[in-house]
Amino acid sequence: NLAGGAKSNYTFPKDFLFGVSTAAIQIEGAWNEDGKSESIWDHLVRVNPNFTRDGSTPNVAANSYHLYKRDAEMVHELGANIYRFSISWPRILPTGLANQVNPLGIQYYKNLISELERYNITPMVTIYHWDLPQKLQDIGGWTNAHIIDYYTDYANVLFENFADKVKYWITFNEPMQTCLEGYGNTYRAPALNRHGIAEYLCTHNLLKAHASVYHLFHKQYRPLYGGKMGMSLDSNWAEPKTDTPRDKMAAELYLKTHLGWYAHPVYSETGNYPEELIKLVDEKSKKQNYTHSRLPKFTPEEVAYVRGTADFFGLNHYTTYLLSMADGEVGEVPSHENDVGIVRVQDPKWPSKSSSSWLKVVPFGFRRLLNWITKTYNNVPIIVTENGYADFSGVKDEARVSYYCHYLNSLLHSIHEDKTNVRGYFAWSLMDNWEWDDGYASRFGLYLVDFNSPNKTRTAKESAKLYTNVISSRGLPADYDPEDFTAFSS
């Protein structure tokens, strides 16, 4: 059975946060307006026009730079009480550095925040959702240790301007995508592909940058304005491929060396990278004749500096994989994949007709993942900062409606039966947007965006109505059936 729990009358707790998420470059457009400089994504698609499935660019996207008032109105229509959006670093600091703050960039986000305020919607700001200024990439981006200072200066500008109004901060969205897919592979900008080396350098600098910004916030801004800060980590659930101890070990190793790569240094009692990862990369590096491990090390002072630098655990979750141990070498040599040595597949029987081939519908995995985080990180408060389903388009989106019902059912069981400390849930996404390498061909929105119309008309889908009902009733529709996955058969 795929469901995360039987039919129930469970409801969401009274002060539960119901939100929707977006990211700057996926919706704003205005890529070169009002002083904004090029981000690594603008750069990547300009230099490599075939990077996206549909040859598109994020140049205009949903044009939210000009249509933010409608965006705020949509969040209000949904009845959501919190909106997670990201701030574009190259819009705020065109040189990448804090020597020159762009007043028009600041004004844009001030306007958005006051529009949200009109509707009583709490802003949650993601400081970094993948759009590094290209000028910083030119000097190494996240592999350059000076990025820790540059990122801290950038965050400081945001706090100076917005910390009086913004009470929830996310330092990084899915750092594993940035480092593993952007520096160790080609799926994300800057598509550097220096596997085995760069993903570890990137992660090391990024975690220190996260800690630096947390300490700045905690010391200088929290005393004045209050507020909470966390990171949004992406994780699939890892199910053992079979019942054998070896496959069970593979599933556990997957979680420790992926989610744990980022979570363990910040959220665990001991801090630092997971022991398993240190051992694997150290031993492999030695065998490969490197003079130093390819995994940089934290000093004991740095372990202490990074540990405990979050008030909540942000989780982005979409799907589940089956894990087994590799028989021989896997992946490129060297690479994180090769170092870890496990194999990841999905069950072809899992339902999905998603435009994103990886997005299989496995609601029980959500509940198991929430449980794993709760056990591993000492009952940490969790905010689900992304969850959602992609299709090819249309307002009659019964598959998305079904996905949300099943995943929210799993979440309700997690809260009520497993006693996880989940404080909020954000649907990805408020509206259709520029889905990275999938361009405009894969749609995650609760609102349909007509990308061909000059005013990028937004229309509520069936799923928007479903979400509104969930929020107002604080539970699932009466006719929801945990056994029913027919919406995913074509």
Of 126 and 309, nearer to ligand GBH (C-beta) is: 126
CA–CA gap between residue 33 and residue 60 (Å, rounded): 11
CA–CA gap between residue 73 and residue 386 (Å, rounded): 20
Of 182 and 475, nearer to ligand GBH (C-beta) is: 182
Q: Is 174 in the site for ligand GBH (CB under 6 A)?
A: yes
Least CB distance from residue 86 to ligand GBH, whole Å?
A: 9
Q: Is 337 in the site for ligand GBH (CB under 6 A)?
A: no
Least CB distance from residue 34 to ligand GBH, whole Å?
A: 23
Structure tokens at 56: 């598109």
Of 428 and 451, nearer to ligand GBH (C-beta) is: 428
Least CB distance from residue 370 to ligand GBH, whole Å?
A: 17
CA–CA gap between residue 311 and residue 267 (Å, rounded): 9
Category of 29 on φ-ψ map: left (φ > 0), alpha (ψ -120 to 50) or beta? left
Cβ atoms of residues 386 and 316 within 8 Å: yes
Q: Which residue has the tokens 């069981």?
A: 413
Least CB distance from residue 126 to ligand GBH, whole Å?
A: 9
By CB under 6 A, the count of residues binding ligand GBH is 11
Q: Quick check: helix, strand or coil at residue 222?
A: helix
Task: Describe the crossing of helices 64-78 and 462-473 by its angle, rounded to 10 degrees.
Answer: 50
Q: Where are the beta strands (DSSP E) in 53-109?
A: 82-86
Structure tokens at 400: 């998305």
Among 38, 42, 115, 234, binds ligand GBH (CB under 6 A): 234
Among 115, 337, 432, 435, binds ligand GBH (CB under 6 A): 435
Least CB distance from residue 331 to ligand GBH, whole Å?
A: 12
What does the H/E/C string look like for 289-310?
CCCCCCCCCCCHHHHHHHCCCC
Q: Quick check: helix, strand or coil at residue 65?
A: helix
Among 316, 410, 414, 420, binds ligand GBH (CB under 6 A): 316
Among 358, 394, 483, 484, binds ligand GBH (CB under 6 A): 358
Cis peptide before 123 (omega within 30 of 0): no
Q: What is the CA radius of gyration of the chain?
A: 21
CA–CA gap between residue 280 and residue 269 (Å, rounded): 21
Q: Is 386 in the site for ligand GBH (CB under 6 A)?
A: yes
Cβ atoms of residues 43 and 450 within 8 Å: no
Confirm whether 174 is a catalytic residue.
Answer: yes
Q: Is 392 in the site for ligand GBH (CB under 6 A)?
A: no
Which range binds ligand GBH by CB under 6 A, 8-16, 131-139, 173-181, 470-478? 173-181
Contact characters 57-96, ligand GBH, x per CB under 6 A: ----------------------------------------
Least CB distance from residue 374 to ligand GBH, whole Å?
A: 22
- Which residue's Cβ has the minimum distance to ligand GBH? 358
Least CB distance from residue 428 to ligand GBH, whole Å?
A: 5
Of 305 and 444, nearer to ligand GBH (C-beta) is: 444
Which H or E run includes 200? helix 198-216
Cis peptide before 429 (omega within 30 of 0): yes
Among 23, 207, 405, 460, binds ligand GBH (CB under 6 A): 23
Catalytic residue among 28, 38, 115, 174: 174
Pairing of strands 312-316, 382-386: parallel
Cβ atoms of residues 371 and 418 within 8 Å: yes
Q: Is 444 in the site for ligand GBH (CB under 6 A)?
A: yes
Confirm whether 199 is a catalytic residue.
Answer: no
Catalytic residue among 115, 199, 386, 435: 386
Least CB distance from residue 89 to ligand GBH, whole Å?
A: 15
Cβ atoms of residues 230 and 313 within 8 Å: yes
Q: How many CA atoms lie within 13 A of 470 on its CB side?
A: 30
Of 221 and 254, nearer to ligand GBH (C-beta) is: 254
Structure tokens at 96: 């990448």
Cβ atoms of residues 207 and 167 within 8 Å: no
**Whole-Å CA distances, 245 to 248, 295, 369, 456:** 5, 28, 19, 53
Q: Is 109 in the site for ligand GBH (CB under 6 A)?
A: no
Which range binds ligand GBH by CB under 6 A, 74-82, 141-149, 170-178, 455-463? 170-178
CA–CA gap between residue 363 and residue 370 (Å, rounded): 11
Least CB distance from residue 218 to ligand GBH, whole Å?
A: 25
Which range binds ligand GBH by CB under 6 A, 72-80, 169-177, 406-414, 459-467? 169-177
Cβ atoms of residues 441 and 53 within 8 Å: yes
Of 82 and 106, nearer to ligand GBH (C-beta) is: 82
Which range binds ligand GBH by CB under 6 A, 70-78, 171-179, 201-209, 327-335? 171-179
Among 173, 235, 414, 463, binds ligand GBH (CB under 6 A): 173
Q: Is 131 in the site for ligand GBH (CB under 6 A)?
A: no
List active site positions: 174, 386
Residues lying near ligand GBH in the complex (CB under 6 A) are found at: 23, 173-174, 177, 234, 316, 358, 386, 428, 435, 444
